[in-house]
Amino acid sequence: MPNTIFDIGLDRNAANFVPLSPISFLVRSARVWPERTAVVHGPRRFTYAAMLERCRRFASALAARGIGRGDTVAVLAPNTPAMLEAHYAIPMTGGVICAINTRLDAATVAFILDHSEARVFLVDQELAPLAATALAMARNKPFVIDIADDAAPSNVPVGAIEYEAFLAAGDPAHTVRLPDDEWDAISLGYTSGTTGDPKGVVCHHRGAHLNAVANVLGFGITAESVYLWTLPMFHCNGWTYTWGITLAGGTHVCLRRVDPALIFPLIEQEGVTHMCGAPVVMTMLIHAPAGVRRGLSRNVKIATGGAAPPTAVIAGMEALGFEVTHLYGLTEVYGPATFCAWQPGVAEMSVEDRARFTSRQGVPSHMLEDATVMTPEMRRVPADTATMGELMLRGNTVMKGYLKNPTATEKAFAGGWFHTGDLGVIHPDSYIEIRDRSKDIIISGGENISSLEVEEVLFRHPDIMEAAVVAHPDKHWGEVPHAFVTPKPGREASLSADDVIAFCRQHLARYKVPKHVTFGPLPKTSTGKIQKFELRRRTAG
């Protein structure tokens, strides 16, 4: 390429190029708002100045134990200050945070400790028994730190030192260092691994920084925001809100357990403005017992994702006074990657129309380059709401790849796009709507049936609280839909399989109507997804 007048050595230098990292967010907020409340945990309160000082101590104590660039530090904890601080202190050392799902079994935690080669392992006292079993099974033996908490059940400690003592030995003036390269790993998050060993998703500082910015913009977070931690921080680093709330200078309100009896009072006491959660969290709030459920004295925004939110659930949350933002994403893209941006006029729509609009997965979030739906030949489908294909994503907020798994990495990035494994359509207004995960679609007599479409109808039944639909093997049709239904409290006795089938007949094409109905609670993952593989196992048996 010929030189231009600008090709005269105007190169990057320390003054004009700084690696993007969410570490910078904390440093800035501590400078701008040293006295503002950064973290609330029951009676405990930390200002931004205190949060930075604690993270400096934590980072220096980790560094003193030899933690540096590329070393994994695993954390097994609910949403507490220590878990939040880990999101800054570990990256400050150059280390990689591996936040482990707290509802995993010991064998999987042991697998993660081995696979991630964790050198340090922080364990909340409530989870000490799980950690002890996992540590006994793991070949790798990390240095273990106990996190004590007055609000947690006490257990026999498993570590060599308690977290506050570990911090006390750290240097409060420790120099904060950014990575030399923004492409360095910042976090390692394991997918649920329903079909084998979980895959370790490696994310970088640059992507974490950019996705946190996108989430702040998309969800309207400001310095006045008070964010309640109803989403597990271990789930894609709390969809990057662990970093985003700090960027805005808002307040993090910690929460050990997703329980409506804790959530409704905290919303009032702390003046909560924003929270996140899977659709099951919304269902839990809508169906909380009358004495627990409260209308809100002011508007609270909830961002939901992780699974498709049925329109009836969105409308139910609006009735309680919440405003619902819909996000879609995966661990591989730092959590949320698309969101259903409201257009002018949506706020004025009827509740039903707005819920229908919002139930779509939407458009690329601010920092994602592109999201589209493609055929197996990698051609974009027409925006006709009908042609189905696989949702593909590309941009700066896509993972580096899977740890120690080049085959899976190559497959995920084939053709220069990240393949999500989700099937969807594009609407004429360019909004994407997911119809199913590719493994959940039901193929009956050669016709595709979207399990989400059938669930959408079931959720509208006045006596149904929750429902999931999976394929049931059938001699004649190959597969037929099987509905698993949880009735609303008090409706268990009156709702019959015939009622459910008759209701579906009124609202669905005949071939989409479930042929089997089973009542009872639905098995869920800790990130609020219904375990369809478990339901499929039941239909096969």
Q: What minimum distance in Å lies between the beta carbon of 501 and ligand ADP?
A: 25
Q: Given candidates 72, 246, 420, 539, which one binds ligand ADP under the rule CB under 6 A?
A: 420
User: How many residues are present in the chain?
Assistant: 541
Q: Tell me the C-alpha distance between 382 and 380, whole Å.
A: 7
Residues 433-452 within binding reach of ligand ADP (CB under 6 A): 434, 437
* CA 105/CA 336 separation, integer angstroms: 26
**What ranges in 251-350 are assigned the alpha helix state H?**
260-270, 279-286, 311-320
Which of 53, 390, 422, 455 touches ligand ADP by CB under 6 A? Answer: 422
The residue range among 328-336, 374-382, 470-478, 496-504 that interacts with ligand ADP, by the rule CB under 6 A, is 328-336
> In whole angstroms, what is the distance from residue 34 CA to residue 46 CA?
10
Query: What does the per-residue mask of binding to ligand ADP show for 171-210, with x meaning CB under 6 A?
Result: --------------------xx------------------
- Token digits of residue 380: 């974009």
Beta strands per DSSP E along 300-356: 300-304, 322-330, 335-339
Distance (Å, whole) CA 281 – CA 326: 13
Contact window for ligand ADP (CB under 6 A) among 55-63, 324-332, 470-478, 504-512: 324-332
Q: Please identify, using beta-carbon distances, which residue of 179 and 279 lies nearer to ligand ADP.
A: 279
In angstroms, the Cα distances linking 11 to 4, 16, 336, 418, 530 are: 14, 9, 34, 32, 51
Q: Strands 516-519 and 442-444, how do they pair?
A: unpaired
Contact present, 120 and 145 (Cβ < 8 Å):
yes
Show the site string, 254-293: x = touches ligand ADP by CB under 6 A, - = not: ----------------------------------------
The answer to the question of residue 361 lying near ligand ADP (CB under 6 A) is: yes
> Minimal distance in Å, beta carbon 308 to ligand ADP?
4
Output 155 or 192, the one with its CB closest to ligand ADP: 192
Binding mask 477-496 for ligand ADP (x = CB under 6 A): --------------------
Is there a contact between 290 and 283 (Cβ–Cβ < 8 Å)?
Answer: no
The dihedral sign for the CA sequence 185, 217, 335, 375: negative
Q: Scanning residues 74 to 133, which ones bind ligand ADP (CB under 6 A)?
A: none
41 phi, psi to nearest 5 deg? -145, 100
Instruction: Spell out, one character per residue from 298 to 317, where the chain touches ligand ADP: x when CB under 6 A holds, - when not.
Output: -------xxxx---------
Structure tokens at 418: 């990240």
CA dist., res. 541 & res. 530, Å (int)? 19
Q: Closer CB to ligand ADP, residue 328 or residue 484?
A: 328
Residue 237 near residue 50 (C-beta atoms within 8 A): no
Residue 37 near ligand ADP by CB under 6 A: no
Q: CB 243 → ligand ADP: shortest distance, Å?
A: 18
Site for ligand ADP contains 328 (CB under 6 A): yes
For ligand ADP, how many residues bind (rule: CB under 6 A)? 19
By Cβ distance, which residue is nearest to ligand ADP?
192
By CB under 6 A, name the binding residues for ligand ADP. 191-192, 305-308, 326, 328-331, 361, 420-422, 434, 437, 527, 529
